[in-house]
Amino acid sequence: MTRPHIEPYCELNERWKKFDLRGFPRGSEYKVLSMDRDTGACSLKMRLKPGYRRPPGLSYSDIELFVLNGDLTIGERSYGEGQYIFQPAGLVMGAMASAKGCELLAYYNEGWPTFEESKESHSLALQQAYVNVNAYRDAPWIGVARRQPGVATGCLVKVLRIDPVTKATTFLYSMTAQYYQDNISYHDCCEESYHIWGTSWMLQFGDLPTGGYFWRPPYINHGAFASRYGCIALGRTDSELFNYFHFNPWTNPDENQRRAVAVLYRERPELWKWVRTEGHNHPHGPDDFESPEYREAARHLHAHGYDLHSHEHDPGEPHSHESD
């Protein structure tokens, strides 16, 4: 996922726009939180107006939905705030409706938002990946200390989904009132958050209030952290989140990346060796004199009187084949 660094941002004062993309029914609005301009993958805040209806259908991108408030019916089931759904690409979603209207976070992970009316799933849809859980009621809070000095006590998460291949993770997190953490962290992954309620503070970016949002590329310092009255937010990463901690606020992302490589060198030296040499080791095959390109060039030169394999002549001096 390549998106620009957006931080801090608050969407509450931005205006809603009509969501009139091809294929989608009318009656919804959106705000773009972030977007990958190469693929169209995006994070949106959406509003379905009272009486909204959409027939059953599917998308060509994985979708994640989180209900912020209001009512949302999908198929036979009705949901309220805190409902989280991971809808794999191609898996048919039942008819969607909202009687009183609702606000959602909607994430299209692979490409532009798409909707195709259908009552059947695509044959390649990964049905097993479907997740449907109420994040407020149906998932436990857990502590997130990862090594010491780790995340300070008082920051809790509810893991909603982990991609089995990439380890991309979607989670609810909460900081307690008077939360404080004095160290600085960065990751190998992109990190994204939407503040459902409350304000948190970071040394580099100041206050992030209700409606606050960030998309943070890898290796960017963030922390120390604090929250006076607590906060609750929906977070996402695009791969495994491993916290590198330190206390130097002046390092840049390149330095942090090199420091992360040093950690890899200490902990997994064989992998480090492979990463270091792969792709720029001694050339074999295509770059050797045995390559088809070289042989063709040698044949061409030979036909014009040069012989790259002769030691009896200066390779730059033309000579006839018969003289060898």
Binding site for Fe ion (CB under 5 A): 191
Closest CA relative to residue 95, chosen from 48, 58, 47, 60: 58
**CB 243 → Fe ion: shortest distance, Å?**
7
The tokens describing 259, both together, are 């420091």
**CB 219 → Fe ion: shortest distance, Å?**
11
Given its phi and psi angles, is residue 279 left (phi above 0), alpha (psi -120 to 50 degrees) or beta? left
Q: Which is nearer to Fe ion, 191 or 307 (CB)?
A: 191
Neighbours of 285 (CB within 10 A): 7
Q: Which is nearer to Fe ion, 62 or 191 (CB)?
A: 191
Given its phi and psi angles, is residue 40 left (phi above 0), alpha (psi -120 to 50 degrees) or beta? left
**CB 222 → Fe ion: shortest distance, Å?**
5
Q: Which residue is nearest to Fe ion (CB)?
A: 191
**CB 7 → Fe ion: shortest distance, Å?**
11
**CB 204 → Fe ion: shortest distance, Å?**
12
Q: Which is nearer to Fe ion, 153 or 323 (CB)?
A: 153
Cα 185 from Cα 204, distance rounded (Å): 11
Cα 230 from Cα 197, distance rounded (Å): 9
Q: Which is nearer to Fe ion, 88 or 223 (CB)?
A: 223
Beta bridge partners of 1: none
Cα 85 from Cα 131, distance rounded (Å): 5
Q: Which is nearer to Fe ion, 88 or 198 (CB)?
A: 198
